Amino acid sequence: MTTAPNVPFDQREGTIWLDGRFVEWKSARIHVLTHGLHYASCVYEGERVYSGSVFRLRAHTDRLYRSAQMLDFAIPYAKEELEAATAELIERNEIVNGYVRPIAWRGSEQISTSARATRIHVALACWSWPSYFDPAAKEKGIALQTAKWRRPPPVSSPYEAKASSHYMIATLCKHQAEANGFHDALMLDWRGQIAEATSANIFFVRDGVLHTPTPDCFLDGITRRTVIDLARERGIEVVERPMFPDELDSFSECFLTGTAAEVCPVGRIDAHAYQPSTITFDLMGAYSERVNQVEGALAHE
Ligand SMILES: Cc1ncc(COP(=O)(O)O)c(C=O)c1O
């Protein structure tokens, strides 16, 4: 099922899986007095479909259930049930290359900080989605601007959860970067160390070595881990360490990794320029090859 990309998400055609049933897309609605909407008691995933299958589906399913647990609720379906529904949904919507958005949230039984009596709702939606960043910008390398807002310390929230509440800062940062003519924002953490982009992890290259910040207060992405493995398989040294903005001039290449962004070259951070080159292109190619190995264990691990 294809819908023009500028049609609002609630006006599209197709099928959504909601609380155990396949329903007509436009009828998948919630009430305004929903706990998840008021208190951000909500977790989600972003999964990519390649040739009709989700890449690393089990890793995403595991993270969804862990995220819910970190927000003090349990998803009321078996993982296998949700994964089977995902596969059927992709088929029903005729998605070949696209994106799946699983989401779980607290319902309307209580509108208060305490929410133990709320029912847990789960939905799955999917749509065709070729590229997160404009392909032309991606070819040259996208531009990032250092954001004013920072990733909070690990004691302030369960940072390993892919929780909706963590994205309010990302939206503020991305809006500011876009208003200033950049494609995305580079977020520092509470200490002023380099953290990540608004929905992707970041890597740098210096003298043939990959450097990436230690994910001790932001998401350790599934793509990040795949790319680290691919780099090591190719004999590229990968260093995970605290990284600082005053190092930005010392790197030759920079790229982002994420389920949506895939491996995306960065051409500039503020006034620091990078030239996408051998290592970035090698890993872009390797990632593309890996995600397209849809047969066998890799696609479902
Ligand atoms: C804030 C943030 N960081 C990093 C990532 C990359 O994670 P993954 O590679 O698991 O998609 C994402 C995307 O999910 C994200 O939203």
**Among 203, 230, 259, which is best to mutate for testing ligand 1, by the most ligand atoms less than 8 A from CB?**
259
The pLDDT of residue 79 is: 98
Tell me, yes or no, whether 48 lies in a domain.
Answer: yes
Q: For residues 52 and 89, what is the distance between their CA atoms, to the nearest angstrom?
A: 10
- The DSSP 8-state label assigned to residue 159 in this structure reads T
Task: Kindly state whether residues 20 and 152 are assigned to the same domain.
Answer: no
Give the distance (Å) from ligand 1 centre to CA of residue 224.
Answer: 8
Q: What is the dihedral sign for C-alpha 40, 166, 223, 178? A: positive
Domain count, the chain: 2
Listed residues 74, 109, 128: the one ending a domain? 128
Ranges of residues in the chain whose predicted pLDDT is under 50: 295-301
Catalytic residue, chosen from 26, 140, 148, 162, is 162
What is the per-residue DSSP string for 161-206?
S-BGGGHHHHHHHHHHHHHTT-SEEEEEBTTS-EEEESSSEEEEEE
Q: Residues near ligand 1 with C-beta < 6 Å?
A: 46, 170, 196, 199-201, 219, 221-224, 257-259
Q: The domain that contains 205 carries what CATH number?
A: 3.20.10.10
Listed residues 72, 99, 128: the one ending a domain? 128
The pLDDT of residue 294 is: 59
Residue range of the domain that includes 248: 135-291
Task: Kindly state whether residues 109 and 252 are assigned to the same domain.
Answer: no
166-178 per-residue burial string, b: 16 or more CB within 10 A, e: under 16: bbebbeebbeebe
The pLDDT of residue 109 is: 98
Tell me, yes or no, whether 3 lies in a domain.
Answer: no
Task: Kindly state whether residues 140 and 115 are assigned to the same domain.
Answer: no
Reply yes or no on whether 26 is catalytic. Answer: no
The pLDDT of residue 1 is: 55
Task: Kindly state whether residues 113 and 55 are assigned to the same domain.
Answer: yes
Task: Kindly state whether residues 118 and 202 are assigned to the same domain.
Answer: no
Give the distance (Å) from ligand 1 centre to CA of residue 87.
Answer: 22
Listed residues 90, 108, 128: the one ending a domain? 128
Task: Kindly state whether residues 157 and 261 are assigned to the same domain.
Answer: yes
The pLDDT of residue 83 is: 98
Atom 8 of ligand 1, residue of closest alpha carbon: 221
Atom 7 of ligand 1, residue of closest alpha carbon: 221
Q: For residues 186 and 146, what is the distance between their CA atoms, to the nearest angstrom?
A: 5
Atom 1 of ligand 1, residue of closest alpha carbon: 199
Q: The domain that contains 21 carries what CATH number?
A: 3.30.470.10
Task: Kindly state whether residues 190 and 49 are assigned to the same domain.
Answer: no
Tell me, yes or no, whether 4 lies in a domain.
Answer: no
Give the distance (Å) from ligand 1 centre to CA of residue 110.
Answer: 31
Residues 202-225 have pLDDT tens digits of 999 999 999 999 999 999 999 999
Closest atom of ligand 1 to 222 CA is 10
Tell me, yes or no, whether 296 lies in a domain.
Answer: no
Tell me, yes or no, whether 301 lies in a domain.
Answer: no
Give the distance (Å) from ligand 1 centre to CA of residue 187.
Answer: 13
Task: Kindly state whether residues 40 and 84 are assigned to the same domain.
Answer: yes
